[in-house]
Structure 1
Amino acid sequence: MFRPKQPFEGKEEIEARLTEINHDGLTAISSQCISFARDRPDDFMNYLRHAWKQEGPTLRKDEDLLNALQKVELSLGDDIGLVHDDDGMFYIDLLAALKSGNESGAVEFPRRVLELYLRIQAACDIKGEDALKQMTREWFKDDPVLLTEKGWHRSSECYVEAPEYLSNVITGPILLPSPKSWDVSSFELAALEKFYRETLQVDDGSLDAVLKELDKKPDFHHSKQLYGVLNEIWTKISRDDLPRLREYFKANQCIILSEDDTERYTLGDCIWAPKLDCPKNASKSFPELQTLFVSVLGMKKTNIGLVYHKIVNFIRSVSIFGEPREQKARRLLVALSQDVEDYGSYIDKEKILESDIFPVVERGKHVMLRPASADFYIMDREAFQTEFRGKVPVLDIDHTTFWLLQPFFNWAGLQGRYLMSNIGSIRNAFVPGSVTETPAYIHPMRAKGLLRLAVHYRSPQTRTASGRESLARTLGKTRIHHLKDHSLFTTLKMKDFEGSHVASPLSEVYTCQNDDGLEIYLEKKSAEVATAVQLPLVLARFLMEDPNDESRSEMPVDAMLPGLIRTILRTNNHSLRSIKRILDEEGIVDVDKLENSPYIPANGAGELLELLAMGKGAQRSRDHGSRTNQDPKVTEVHGHEDDLTREFGSLSLQRNTDTTVTVWGSDSTK
């Protein structure tokens, strides 16, 4: 569609036509063409040039039509001003004619092209017409009429200038310096550069030039050259362009990693992982471009490959600057632990476990580097840090370092070395006479809240009505005693080590269940901490105990249970009514409503038996007639009532245990 300078016949855009079929069925110059030439002589050359693209090849073959078109042009020659005044459109048409006769770009006298460019620029400068500049700019952008050393090109494919390091990698033509055959003077050069930059608005080769090249999806070697250019120019890129560069690599699949792998990746698909044999590892393909990919573009990075190689070669390494080898071993293990969950599958676990990388405190309190096959335990409680050193071989780390190394221990399968899971016995006691006073029982609202939790999490103690009643009595007679300081102590013994008895401050909670209820003992100095941390865990284990399981080796506890117990214990005395609301909001079952539910077998056995009997009653009525006065519960279930009652009375309300559990040892007081 052609857009005239002013609307023509009420239309912003028209379909420019040179010919049409007349009433006699013959091809003739279109009435639109004649009208436009008459009404818009200043814009007719634009109309003619646009229509010629479509109909020019046909008109050339018809001499009569050409003559008719020439008559239209000649009759309007004075109006257009072609005779008396140079016009930018005139030179554009000359350029189009010159280009059509030299499609290959091998122009015999290339200065003629230069002179046309300069005359077009002069026309734009003299008349100052924005419309002419805009039309010229669009034409050069859409049509390949810009002559370069690489032939005819569109202005959108070219760059005015480019640094030498860029000119070697971008495929688009660079316009300046101009070809020597043009013999451009300094005056002409200034006008030509103005034509390129201002009228055609061609840019210099810079960041956009590289991104345009990447848009073309070049091969591996060309892509690598472009990455190298970005590595050189990123310091010269403006602050506004750096985020744009990062977003480009995040949004576009512009990273190719090898000649053999033609797939392309975004920045987020790749990883910078030196010495790690993993897929999409950019460090293997471009080791010299770490600054660009990691620091500038923000590619994910892991040093786990480097750390792995240092660990497996640790025994041959040399310690410099007096750093103890044990300290270096700890640092390497912590560094490995940081990324082992994500990239552990790409390193050899067995080689690490065979390496002398584990600093072990042996019975003589000497620290030695040992492999994982050596006998040692991992101290997984802060309280173990002093008690077990020198009595059993333990890993020489503090509790903070233990926390940092937990991902590594899990990956390496060393959880079985945790001290807590290897304690053979735990004996708790308190010094006689340390109880200062006898407290009251806990408030009934707290006791009822604990009962709700036991029922909700389907404690074995709540399977039957009698079990629930027994637990309710025990919880209703629960007392919390506060002891004098240093009154509680715990004796621990390792399973496989003689003489490994230690007195530990592990326990700050001591419980004792008797016929009168549950007695809980806390030391005054640590009562606040124990109530917040240890007591909820102790009570969670107590609530979930199975009285019929003599082994009690492991007690599964739902992960949310200790937190809810903590809420019940720490609720202010003035806000005890909020316990019910909190448990309701958490979706904890209401024991009162549960006890009164007609769907519980023990509560509605009669209704259930009647429901079951209805099917048989209907069958009998069809076979033997109706017995309206007979009790269906008696007639249909005669001789089976005890069995059914027993069946429903023992019906388990248990469902599948939550898979998110915390497991405590049978004698643990944690």
Structure 2
Amino acid sequence: MPLPAEWNATRFESDHIERFYKDVLLLEDAYRYYDILDELRRHKIKAFKWKVSPGDVAKLYQDLEDLDVRGQERDRMIEEFKKEPLILYIIPDRRWETFHWGTPSQLVWSHGVKLPRKHDISQQYPSLKSFFVDRLEIPELTMEALQKQILEVAADAPADETFTHLSHLNILIQNLVELIDPSELISEPIFPILTPSGELKRVCCTTDFFIVDDMHLFKLFRDKFNMLAFTNSQVMRLEFVFKWLGMGKKYLIRNVDHRVEWPYGTITHEIEWDIGQKAKALLRCASIAAYFRSRQTRSISERNLILRSLRAAKMMEVEDMFSETKLGDGHHKSNNTNIYIKDTYPQLKLINSGGWQESALVAYVSADKKQRQLAMAVALPRLLMDWLMKGREAHSPGFVDVPDLGVSLVKSVLSAPPELANDILEAESIEQPLAYREGRKRMLGSDGSPRGSQEQIRGRITSQHSHKDIGESACKAAGNPGQIQPTTTISCRPQQRKGITRDDTPSETASVNLREARRTLIQ
């Protein structure tokens, strides 16, 4: 409580009087909170002229919390906040507007979740939860409340109703430190799926169904397997929910085998391919693959094998080439596990020929000119990046998440004239990898000096991922083409990657700092 000015008290006297009020008369809490509320009102007036600091206002809320007002005075203080909008909040996507002031009934503590007709203040005042939630009784959105809402959704409710709750849960999983036990959500039928017969029903997450993240594969197998009835954009927004519930293996693109074949005895013809002239540029792209844990770019000797394979690479055209796709693995009960379905995507197959030390990369393409051009433009960049990451281990099992940045760089190199390939990577700040060695000799640059001494990927490389919602199908299921896991050869159809990935870190449209990036596959 401020002392009257006419008292002309010294600092020493003021401290003693303050302690007397607090320790003997117990009056500090009963009066001082009014002063803070008056100060809030003055800040509110200044806010109309943009002369208020949100940090100063937050300090006043902290002062109120420190007072620990109790009893009737606490009730009066809460009533003041209910009657008058004294809580400053800023709308995240409308920061250019003037500051907003609200009452507890207009606000929510939702941990980053956007709720209709409510404004979340948890991100603005992360250290003041005790004051706003416990003292002013602003409602908090919890995982327990969301779980209850999800379990109460009617069996015949639209799939979108479940998605809304799950998307809120997805945000809480990212922002909360302590999570609830997911066992109840795992065991209850909460997921809307489309059956092969076209029926929409709800099942638990342990039921056999696929998360549709590839529209082309959905069209191929919709009449043979259960599919989750969410759109592509919805699937991307539920990444952390799927991981939390242990559903990572249900992604459609992680359960396909794709192969490209041609009739036995078909004669192949070699055609011109300038990839050998771009070998060094592609090896620089392999430095991106190395950063994302490529299996065959870990040492100089392994890089030299890649370089020799690329320099000796050739392209063969094949008549009557066709592609087939199989869906299903040991985790799904399927009567069609040995049946391949004819596919219409661009046909292109990469293999390694020759011995280990004399390896050459061979690309088989269709003799049809249109199909060949389509395959080289759409399929080749991702297949080649896949080869850079897996190489001769392509026969081994295991899902490899091909980095979109690497695919983009490979595509740029392939489409550029050979003399510009390295310049493109230079412009993208992709440095030369470790010095190449052939035998025991160090390859030198044109000036006779070593080409490099350390593998680095420097700078920020902007990787724009376009996210496109395929649209609502009859079952609300959609997706993007994705990584295809090969079995006997490196052969898969092209993909257009999206923001969602099966890793620990959501991929968003952003400038990617490769030094800080982490890619860990969802188990």
Residue 266 (structure 1) shift: 9.0
Show the 5 A alignment for 1:567-582.
567-572=412-417, 575-578=420-423, 581=426
1:309 and 2:148 matched: yes
SS in 1 for 2:197: coil
Local SS of the residue matching 1:333 = helix
Show CA shifts across 1:492-520 (max 9, x none): 24234123643344665433554575124
Which of the numbers 396, 413, 419 marks the counterpart of 1:552?
396
Instruction: Kindly name which structure, 1 or 2, has the bigger radius of gyration based on alpha carbons.
Output: 1
Aligned residue number for residue 226 of structure 1: 77
**Is 1:490 the counterpart of 2:324 in the alignment?**
yes
Aligned to 1:519: 363
After superposition, the Cα gap between the structure-2 partners of 1:282 and 1:565, relative to the gap in structure 1 and judged at 3 Å, is same
Answer whether contact 2:276 2:313 (CA < 8 A) is retained.
no
Q: Determine the C-alpha separation between the residues in 1 that align with 2:361 and 2:175.
A: 50
Contact 2:346/2:371 (<8 A) preserved: no
SS at the partner of 1:391?
coil
- 1:112-165: per-residue Cα shift (whole Å, max 9, x none)? xxxxxxxxxxxxxxxxxxxxxxxxx99537349xxxxxxxx99xx9xxxxxxxx
Distance 1:286 1:311 in 2: 28
Give the superposition deviation at 1:415. Answer: 0.3
- Going from structure 1 to structure 2, the CA distance change for 1:529 and 1:454 (only over 3 Å counts) comes to same
The percent identity for this pair of structures is 14
The worse-fitting range, judged by mean Cα deviation, of 397-406 and 475-484 is 475-484
The 2-side partners of 1:471 and 1:236 are apart by 63
Per the alignment, residue 540 of structure 1 pairs with 385
Q: Which residue of 1 aligns with 2:314?
A: 478
Pairing partner for 1:499 from 333, 336, 339: 336
- Counterparts of 1:266 and 1:338 in 2: how far apart (Å)? 16
More helix by share: 1
Distance 1:141 1:441, change over 3 A: farther
Contact 1:482–1:524, Cα closer than 8 Å, also in 2? no
Matches of 2:242 and 2:134, distance apart in 1: 29
Instruction: Give the Cα separation in 2 of the matches to 1:383 and 1:585.
Output: 34
Cα 1:400/1:245, change in 2 over 3 Å:
closer
1:206/1:518 CA distance change after superposition, 3 Å: closer
2:348–2:379 Cα contact (<8 Å) kept: yes
Q: Could you say if the C-alpha distance between residues 467 and 345 of structure 1 is closer, same or farther in structure 2, counting changes exceeding 3 Å?
A: closer
SS at match of 1:554: coil
Determine the C-alpha separation between the residues in 2 that align with 1:550 and 1:142. Answer: 86
Q: Kindly tell me: are residues 170 and 318 of structure 1, through their superposed partners in 2, closer, same or farther at Cα, counting changes over 3 Å?
A: farther
Q: How many angstroms does 1:339 deviate by?
A: 2.8
CA distance in 2, matches of 1:533, 1:471: 23
Match of 1:665 in 2: 485
Superposed counterparts of 1:40-59, under 5 Å: none
Contact 1:307–1:332 at 8 Å: present in 2 too? yes
The AA in structure 2 aligned to 1:591 is Y
| Deviation at residue 377 of structure 1 after TM alignment | 2.0
Correspondence 1:151-190 to 2 at 5 A: 170-171=31-32
Count of matched residue pairs:
376
What is the 5 A alignment of 1:337-416?
337-343=170-176, 345-416=178-249
Residues 84-136 of structure 1: CA deviation (Å, up to 9, x unaligned): xxxxxxxxxxxxxxxxxxxxxxxxxxxxxxxxxxxxxxxxxxxxxxxxxxxxx
How many angstroms apart in 1 are the aligned matches of 2:268 and 2:195?
42
Q: Which residue type is aligned with residue 334 of structure 2?
A: F
Alpha-carbon distance in 1 for matches of 2:61, 2:227 = 59
Structure 1 residues 663 and 477, CA, compared in 2 at 3 Å: closer, same or farther?
closer
Q: Distance in 2 between matches of 1:282 and 1:529?
A: 59
**In 1, Cα distance between the equivalents of 2:205 and 2:133?**
31
Q: TM-score, normalised by structure 2?
A: 0.55
Distance 1:285 1:325 in 2: 38
**Equivalent residue letter for 1:401:** Q
Q: Which residue of 2 aligns with 1:267?
A: 125
- Two-structure CA RMSD over aligned residues (Å): 5.4
Report the Cα distance in structure 2 between the residues aligned to 1:173 and 1:465, rounded to whole angstroms.
75
Contact 2:195 2:225 in 1 (8 A): yes
CA distance change for structure 1 residues 596 and 220 in 2, over 3 Å: closer, same or farther?
farther
Mapped to 2, the partners of 1:326 and 1:445 lie a distance apart of 52
Following superposition of structure 1 onto structure 2, how do residues 235-314 of structure 1 map, counting pairs within 5 Å? Answer: 243=99, 267-270=125-128, 280=130, 282-283=132-133, 285-287=135-137, 289=138, 302=141, 304-314=143-153
- In the alignment, the residues of structure 2 paired with residue 585 and residue 209 of structure 1 have an alpha-carbon distance, to the nearest angstrom, of 51
Q: Does 1:450 align with 2:286?
A: no
* Residues 494/344 of structure 1: CA separation in 2 closer, same or farther (3 Å cut): farther
Question: Is the alpha carbon distance of 1:483 and 1:577 closer, same or farther for their aligned partners in structure 2, counting shifts above 3 Å?
Answer: farther
Counterpart amino acid of residue 80 in structure 2: V
SS for the counterpart of 2:382 is helix
In structure 1, the residue corresponding to 2:274 is in which secondary structure? coil
Question: How far does the alpha carbon of each residue in 1:38-82 deviate from its partner, in whole angstroms, 9 at most, with x for none?
Answer: xxxxxxxxxxxxxxxxxxxxxxxxxxxxxxxxxxxxxxxxxxxxx
The structure-2 alpha-carbon separation of the partners of 1:443 and 1:223, relative to structure 1 and needing over 3 Å to count, comes to same
Give the whole-Å Cα distance in 1 for the aligned partners of 2:375 and 2:442.
38
| CA pair 402-574 structure 1, distance change in 2 beyond 3 A | same
d(CA) in 2 for partners of 1:214, 1:284:
13
Q: What is the TM-score of this pair, normalised by structure 1?
A: 0.45
CA contact (8 A) 1:361 1:368 kept: yes
Question: How much has 1:206 moved relative to structure 2?
Answer: 7.3
Work out which structure has the larger RCO, using CA pairs closer than 8 Å and 6 or more positions apart in sequence. Answer: 2
Matches of 2:388 and 2:362 in 1, distance apart? 11
Runs (5+) with no aligned partner, structure 1: 1-136, 145-152, 158-167, 175-202, 247-264, 272-279, 291-300, 599-652, 655-661
* 2:446 alignment partner in structure 1: none
**In the aligned structure 1, how far is the partner of 2:186 from the partner of 2:212?**
18
Q: 1:209 to 1:476 in 2, by over 3 A?
A: closer
- Aligned-pair distance for 1:353? 1.4
2:450 counterpart residue number: none
Provide the rounded CA distance (Å) in 2 between the counterparts of 1:570 and 1:338: 40
- Whether the aligned pair in 2 keeps the contact of 1:326 and 1:359 (CA below 8 Å) is yes
Counterparts of 2:419 and 2:303 in 1: how far apart (Å)? Answer: 31
Q: CA deviation at 1:370?
A: 0.8
User: Offset at 1:552?
Assistant: 0.9
